C-alpha cells in the first residue's frame, strides 16, 4: 500500500499549470529523487505533497498509516534564515510545535525528542551554539533534526545540499541515506543526478507532463536520463 499517491494531479500557481497528469505511488521506505529542468514543477510538487498548495485538479491521497502532519520538511534556506539568532536546540525543538496543541510550552517529551534527534545526527555538541555561527553543513543537520522532530515517517527535502561544499554534501547525503535505511521514506529534489542515482531507488523526472516515474535502474536505461548524467544541473 502506498504512503502517498498522486491521482491524475495537476499543479500550478498564478493561473499557470506547471505539472499535469501526475500519477505516482510512493511506498514506505522509498527514496524518491525528483529531477527536471528549471520551472518543471519540482518544488511545486513538494509543496502540494505537504499541503502548502492545493492541486488544480486530481487528488493526493495518504495511506499506510501516514497523514500529512507526519511529514517532515527541509526547505531551501534563504540568506535571512542562515543568519537566524537562536541556539541550535531552540531551532530543533521548534519542530515539535505540531505536537504542542494548545500548550504554550514544550513538554519534557518534546525536549527529549529534540535531544535524541540531535544525537541521531551527531550534532548534540552544538546544542548551545548559535545557529548563525555554524557552517552550512552543520546548519543543514540542525534543520534536518528539526524536520525529524516534526515527523519521522517521511521527510521531504528541497535541494538539501545547495550551497554546501563537496565534503559537506557527501556527509549530508550519507545521513539522509542512513535515515532511509532506518525506514524513513525520502522525497528529495536535487540537481545532483549522480547522487540521486547512487542513493535513490525511484526517480520522478518532471516536465509539464511527467517524463518518467519508476525505478532508478529503468530510468538509467532511458535516453532521457543521459543529459543529466555526470552531475549536470537540472534545477
Does residue 99 share a domain with residue 206? no
Does residue 51 share a domain with residue 9? yes
Does residue 132 share a domain with residue 84? yes
Residue 142's SS3 state is: helix
Expressed as residue numbers, the domain containing 127 is: 77-152
Does residue 235 share a domain with residue 158? yes
Does residue 121 share a domain with residue 13? no
Given a contact cutoff of 8 angstroms between Cβ atoms, the answer to whether 195 and 35 are in contact is no
Segment 169-220, tens digit of pLDDT: 999 999 999 999 999 999 999 888 787 888 999 999 998 888 899 999 999 8
Band of residue 232 on the pLDDT scale cut at 50, 70, 90: very low
**% pLDDT > 70, the chain:** 91
Q: How many CB atoms lie under 10 A from the CB of residue 3?
A: 23
Closest CA to 118 of 134, 102, 99, 100: 134
Q: Which residues fall within 8 angstroms of residue 40, CB to CB, at 6 or more apart?
A: 18, 19, 206, 207, 208
Residue 140 belongs to some domain of the structure: yes
- End residue of a domain, out of 89, 123, 152: 152
Residue 71 belongs to some domain of the structure: no
- End residue of a domain, out of 127, 152, 177: 152
Does residue 234 share a domain with residue 186? yes
Phi-psi region of 130 (alpha: psi -120 to 50; beta: other; left: phi over 0): beta
Does residue 234 share a domain with residue 163? yes
Does residue 140 share a domain with residue 207? no
Residue 193 belongs to some domain of the structure: yes
Segment 25-70, tens digit of pLDDT: 999 999 999 998 888 889 999 999 998 999 999 999 999 888 888 8
Q: Report strand pairing: 71-74 vs 154-158.
A: parallel
How many domains is the chain partitioned into structurally?
A: 2
- End residue of a domain, out of 152, 174, 192: 152
Does residue 225 share a domain with residue 117? no
Whole-prediction pTM value? 0.88
Give me the CATH number covering residue 168.
Answer: 3.40.50.300
Residue 38 belongs to some domain of the structure: yes
Does residue 162 share a domain with residue 62? yes
Does residue 143 share a domain with residue 215? no
Does residue 56 share a domain with residue 159? yes
Amino acid at each position: 500500500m502506498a504512503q502517498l499517491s498522486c491521482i491524475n494531479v495537476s499543479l500550478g500557481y498564478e493561473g499557470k499549470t506547471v505539472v499535469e497528469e501526475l500519477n505516482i505511488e510512493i511506498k514506505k521506505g522509498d527514496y524518491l529523487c525528483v529531477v527536471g529542468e528549471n520551472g518543471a514543477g519540482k518544488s511545486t510538487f513538494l509543496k502540494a505533497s505537504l499541503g502548502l498548495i492545493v492541486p488544480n485538479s486530481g487528488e493526493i491521497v495518504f495511506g499506510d498509516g501516514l497523514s500529512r502532519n507526519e511529514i517532515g520538511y527541509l526547505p531551501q534556506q534563504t540568506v535571512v534564515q542562515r543568519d537566524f539568532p537562536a541556539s541550535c536546540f531552540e531551532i530543533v525543538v521548534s519542530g515539535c510545535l505540531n505536537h504542542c496543541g494548545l500548550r504554550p510550552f514544550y513538554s519534557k517529551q518534546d525536549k527529549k525528542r529534540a535531544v535524541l534527534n540531535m544525537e541521531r545526527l551527531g550534532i548534540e555538541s552544538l546544542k548551545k551554539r548559535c545557529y548563525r555561527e555554524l557552517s552550512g553543513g552543520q546548519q543543514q543537520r540542525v534543520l534536518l533534526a528539526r524536520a525529524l522532530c516534526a515527523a519521522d515517517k517521511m521527510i521531504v527535502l528541497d535541494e538539501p545540499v545547495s550551497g554546501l561544499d563537496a565534503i559537506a554534501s557527501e556527509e549530508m547525503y550519507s545521513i539522509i541515506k542512513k535515515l532511509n535505511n532506518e525506514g524513513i521514506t525520502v522525497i528529495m529534489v536535487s540537481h545532483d543526478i549522480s547522487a540521486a542515482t547512487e542513493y535513490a531507488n525511484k526517480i520522478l523526472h518532471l516536465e509539464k507532463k511527467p517524463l518518467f516515474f519508476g525505478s532508478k535502474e529503468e530510468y538509467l536505461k532511458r535516453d532521457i536520463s543521459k543529459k543529466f548524467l555526470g552531475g549536470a544541473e537540472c534545477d
